[in-house]
Structure 1
Amino acid sequence: MSTSYSLTDGFTNSGSGSVRSSHSGFVPTPGRGTRPSRPGQLAPALLDQMAGGSDPGMVNEIAHSSAASLLDRVRHSEDPSVVARVLTVVERDGVDDIAELWSSSPSDSLPGVLWRLYMLRTWMRTRRDDIARLWRVGEPVATSASAIAGVDQAPTEDDIARLADSILSGAFTGDFAVAMERAAAFTDVVALGLRVEAGKLNAAAAHREDAADAKTIRTKAAQMLHNGANLMATAKDFHHAATLWRRGKLE
């Protein structure tokens, strides 16, 4: 199956309210499972078991075990290529295997938050031009969010791509909670940018004489507000994950 995933376009708001794939298909809990043969690649047998409508408890265990073992493997590796493979697993192998494994996991679990991080990186890299513009709208003057996220006041498209890699790699090789806080600060500002732009569209619609044209503009504004709300919910998920990690309760 080939599925296109996007943080704001291809996700539905479900469960905890965080951004989720509309084609979600996975779940797990903490673990001591076997490590993947290489970072980010699942054994085909596991996927076959899961695809057949396996026991939810087993699927849940596989997801948590794989997330914990992947994180542990990267943290204890001295090979920089390991980190590089983990970062690029979506581009290299596609998102479907990761979705099969983690996308249905709750946002307050390790596999659930790693899924959101991977989707955030993919979205930031594929929509870097739009996101750079939204950041400039949401953060016209540098604030604490800029410092936390590590973003200049007026980031370029390349800055957004580098930030995407930095946040995800930081979760695997640095302070996991700090990476969560950076992701949260970033998504909060982009969500604000969407709300600001939606307000401008609604204002423009109010001055349109053509009713159909005004309706089209308002519909677009409503979608932007919906996307912004999803991003705000995801930012809260990242904040909560940071707190759980520091308490030793993110599994």
Structure 2
Amino acid sequence: MAGGADPGMVNEIAHSSAASLLDRVRHSEDPAVVARVLTVVERDGVDDIAELWSSSPSDSLPGVLWRLYMLRTWMRTHRDAIARLWRVGEPVATSASAIAGVDQAPTEDDIARLADSILSGAFTGDFAVAMERAAAFTDVVALGLRVEAGRLTTAAKEREMDVSGDGSMDGTGDGDVDAQAMRAKAARMLHTGANLMTTAKDFHHAANLWRRGKLE
């Protein structure tokens, strides 16, 4: 459309397409339909879904489906690192493993299967339960990122002290560069963790809205 699409029309298409897709899969007994829905990003790319849903608010059906698709893509792309972060962030006494449906020490293949299970569960099972599984998972991975960031920050401090102790800390030495790199990586981890915590809250809120019949 010349001049850009009308925001109201975009919003209407986003909501109607999300509701139609969810309804279509729920009423289908063909596993191939579910498989196509799961793999739409790998098959067709993310652009079409982004155009439809990415601008929708997090408390809407298209908005939360967008977040689910992005979570699945992220989990499958970084499955090895995420498996390690889960093992770091999963406390000894917690119900997160049971809620998310993953072992306390998952492998990268477990993470890939979980990614598919959460998204398919939103279409074929209890939508609210799928949201709670996604929230529990992102919460623990966010905790793992915070723990790892703390370890890196501590290591950076120790590195700085070591360099300072030998009298060579002038802001240009290799030790100083190493410490700065550690701090930068820790900052990125904290930023990602904060985004995941926000996403977990979005999933929790979506579950509550769905149970009240208000997620549209």
Task: Give TM-score, length-normalised by structure 1.
Answer: 0.78
Deviations, residues 105-132 of structure 1 (Å, cap 9, x unaligned):
0000000000000000001111000000
- After the TM superposition, list the runs of 4 or more consecutive aligned residues in structure 1 that deviate by more than 6 angstroms: none
Find the residue that maps to 2:158 and give its secondary structure. Answer: coil
Q: Counterparts of 1:51 and 1:100 in 2: how far apart (Å)?
A: 16
The more displaced of 133-142 and 60-69 is 133-142
2:82 to 117, 123, 131: 131
Q: Counterparts of 2:140 and 2:2 in 1: how far apart (Å)?
A: 38
Cα 1:133–1:92 change in 2 (3 A) is same
Deviation at 1:249, TM superposition (A): 0.2
Deviation at 1:212, TM superposition (A): 2.4
In structure 2, the gaps of 5 or more residues are: 161-175
Deviation at 1:51, TM superposition (A): 8.7
Root-mean-square deviation (CA), in Å? 1.2
Q: Counterparts of 1:104 and 1:142 in 2: how far apart (Å)?
A: 38
Answer 1 or 2: which has greater helix percent: 2
Q: Counterparts of 1:81 and 1:169 in 2: how far apart (Å)?
A: 12
8 Å CA contact 1:142–1:152 kept in 2: the answer is no
Cα 1:51–1:222 change in 2 (3 A) is farther
Q: Counterparts of 1:153 and 1:58 in 2: how far apart (Å)?
A: 45
Task: Give TM-score, length-normalised by structure 2.
Answer: 0.91
Cα 1:84–1:239 change in 2 (3 A) is same
Q: Counterparts of 1:51 and 1:79 in 2: how far apart (Å)?
A: 40
Cα 1:249–1:59 change in 2 (3 A) is same
Find the residue that maps to 1:51 and give its secondary structure. Answer: coil
In structure 1, the gaps of 5 or more residues are: 1-49
8 Å CA contact 1:113–1:241 kept in 2: the answer is yes
- The residue aligned with 2:23 is 72
Q: Counterparts of 1:54 and 1:185 in 2: how far apart (Å)?
A: 37
Deviation at 1:141, TM superposition (A): 2.3
Deviation at 1:138, TM superposition (A): 0.2
8 Å CA contact 1:142–1:153 kept in 2: the answer is no
- The residue aligned with 1:236 is 201
Deviation at 1:168, TM superposition (A): 0.3
Instruction: Find out whether 1:111 has 2:62 as its counterpart.
Output: yes
Q: For this pair of structures, how many residues does the alignment match?
A: 201
Identity of aligned residues (%): 91
Q: Counterparts of 1:154 and 1:98 in 2: how far apart (Å)?
A: 32
Find the residue that maps to 1:225 and give its secondary structure. Answer: helix
- The residue aligned with 1:227 is 192
Q: Counterparts of 1:151 and 1:224 in 2: how far apart (Å)?
A: 23
Larger of the two Rg values belongs to structure = 2
8 Å CA contact 1:136–1:193 kept in 2: the answer is yes
Q: Counterparts of 1:70 and 1:122 in 2: how far apart (Å)?
A: 19
8 Å CA contact 1:131–1:190 kept in 2: the answer is yes
Deviations, residues 41-62 of structure 1 (Å, cap 9, x unaligned):
xxxxxxxxx6961110000000
Deviations, residues 140-195 of structure 1 (Å, cap 9, x unaligned):
52520110000101000110000000000000000000000000000000000000
Q: Counterparts of 1:77 and 1:237 in 2: how far apart (Å)?
A: 28
Q: Counterparts of 2:91 and 2:120 in 1: how far apart (Å)?
A: 27
